[in-house]
Structure formats: structure tokens, C-alpha cells
Amino acid sequence: MRRKIPSTAALVAFEAAARHQSFTRAAEELALTQSAICRQIGGLEEFLGLELFRRSRRGVKLTEAGQSYARRVATQLDAVERDTLSVMGQQGAMTIELALVPTFGTQWLLPRLRQFQALHPEITVNLTNRTRPFLFADTDFDAAIYFGDGDWSGTVAHSLMPEQSAPVCSPALLSGAAALAPYAIAEMPLLQQTTRPYAWRQWFDSLGMKVARDMTGPRLELFSMLAQAAEHQMGVALIPPFLIQRELAEGRLIIAHPHAYRREGQAYHLIIPERRVESAAMNAFRDWLLDEARAWMAQQDPVAPQ
């Protein structure tokens, strides 16, 4: 038995009264009498053993404890409302809460997700951006797609595809040339990615070059940000070409040098916590995603990564 939880009616009455700073307006909102609101809040104060409002002839005002409790109650009631609407909207359907790195999600996964919906209309996939690993136990996520080595405690990892990054920039920076030599790139502003801080050093190293300023330059968190910065002639960025296909096709970005670098042991992975590996919905999504990744890999032009 939950002995330390007040009645929902009392919490709803308190949240409305705290928001309006008025018992009368709370009663109007909830279609109750003012005396009913007073009884609910009085009972809540008795339950808590503290005063939530100061009463006077001019009305009511939250105490310091009341202000703190009101913020917490409002947050929890909002969460209950969202969960209730979610359950009502599902109507028995299955849902997958998927965390993923954003540019991969928008540029590769989303254009294909309609196919999964057509195959499994009973499964809804919700997407949330997460750029770094997290603890599944602290979230409601059923799985994640991220880039790394796949070593994530308490999970099962499925490799999807490697990442081969090539230098890209605005055509304006090439001044009519077809490409830039690596030493010329080393002299240009280098756009850095926060989650891959050694990317340029590794690219130059793979060419046998040592560049003193390989970690200098503006730092941006997402590939989409790097692409925008490069497009606006802020410098050269290292980006996997498959994430900027539209920009390349439209000529807004161009590959500055054909050499692509692949970090060994690093790839995009589907990460499933052990508690979800037996989920029918999760297994259906996993199988579809792995098939899509294999098909995509088979279509790629061979590149000689270093």
C-alpha cells in the first residue's frame, strides 16, 4: 500500500489553486465549489503536516513550502497527463522509444522509416535526439542508435555500418579547382565536431601528415551544424558523405579531397538493453533495420578507407 501519496483530487485542486493563486478561480476551472477546493487543500495540508497557503481577507498566497511543492506537483501531473494521452492514442498498439544521433536519424533513418510502418502498422517508433551514451535504467528508451565501439554495459549491440568521413566545403573555397591538396586543407579553417574531437588529427595521420593546428577551429556538436557551417564558407568539415547527399547533389557542398578515413572498431550500432531483447516489437524493428543497413552497404561504391 502506498501510504505517502495524497489523493489525486487533492493534488489537482492544489495545483489549480497554486497556479491561479485563488481558490475561487480554481473552483471555476474544476467545476467545483469554493468550499470543496478549501476542503481538498485543507486535507492535503493536514496530510503533509505543513501549511501550503497563507489565508487572509485579501485572498490566499503560497508559502515557500507551497511554492516548492506546487512546482513538483505540476510536473508530475503533466507527466501523468502525457502518459494517459499516450496510452489512449496507442489503442493497443506497440511503441518503441528510440534514442538516436540526430543527423543519422534525419538523413538516413527517417527516409526509410515509412517502409517499416507499412510492414508493421501496429508498431509506432518515436524518435528522440541523444548525442551521447546514457543509462537505460534512468530513461524510458527501448533502444538507441549511436556511433561508437558498441561497448555499452547491460545491452546487446548490433553493428549497422561504419563511418567514412571525407573533407567537404563550399565550392567557393576551391576557387574553381576540382579538389584541394591535403596541405592546402591543413592551412584552411578546420571545423571540429564535439563528439569526434580527434577526427582531423586522425585524417591527417592516415595520410602520414602531422598538422600542429589539427584540433583548432570552431567546435559544433552535430554533423548538420558542420554542414551548415561549411556551406557558409566557415571552413572545411569532416563529414560522412551519406549524411549530406542532398547538399552534395545540389552543389552546396563539395568533397574537397577524395581521401576518406574510417576509424577501426567504430560504427553505428543499434543498442538494445537486455530487458528489451525479448520484445516482439523490438525484434521486428531490429531485423528490419539490419536488413536495411545490409542493403544500403551493398549499394555503396567501394572506397579505399585508411
pLDDT confidence band for 303 (50 / 70 / 90) = very low
pLDDT confidence band for 151 (50 / 70 / 90) = confident
Domains of the chain by start residue, with CATH: 8-90 (1.10.10.10), 94-162+265-299 (3.40.190.10), 164-262 (3.40.190.10)
Q: Which pLDDT belongs to residue 305? A: 43
- Low-confidence winner among 107-121, 123-137, 217-231 (lowest mean pLDDT): 123-137
Question: Is 27's pLDDT higher than 60?
Answer: yes
Q: Which pLDDT belongs to residue 127? A: 93
Q: Which pLDDT belongs to residue 93? A: 66
In the predicted model, what is the mean pLDDT of residues 66-87? 86
In the predicted model, what is the mean pLDDT of residues 168-193? 92
Residue 150 · residue 121 · CB < 8 Å: no
Whole-number mean pLDDT of the chain?
90
Q: Which pLDDT belongs to residue 91? A: 57
Q: Which pLDDT belongs to residue 136? A: 87
Question: Is 40's pLDDT higher than 90?
Answer: yes
pLDDT confidence band for 301 (50 / 70 / 90) = low
pTM of the model: 0.67
Question: Is 51's pLDDT higher than 50?
Answer: yes
Q: Which pLDDT belongs to residue 6? A: 87
Question: Is 21's pLDDT higher than 80?
Answer: yes
Cell numbers given for 154: 547491460
Question: Is 119's pLDDT higher than 70?
Answer: yes
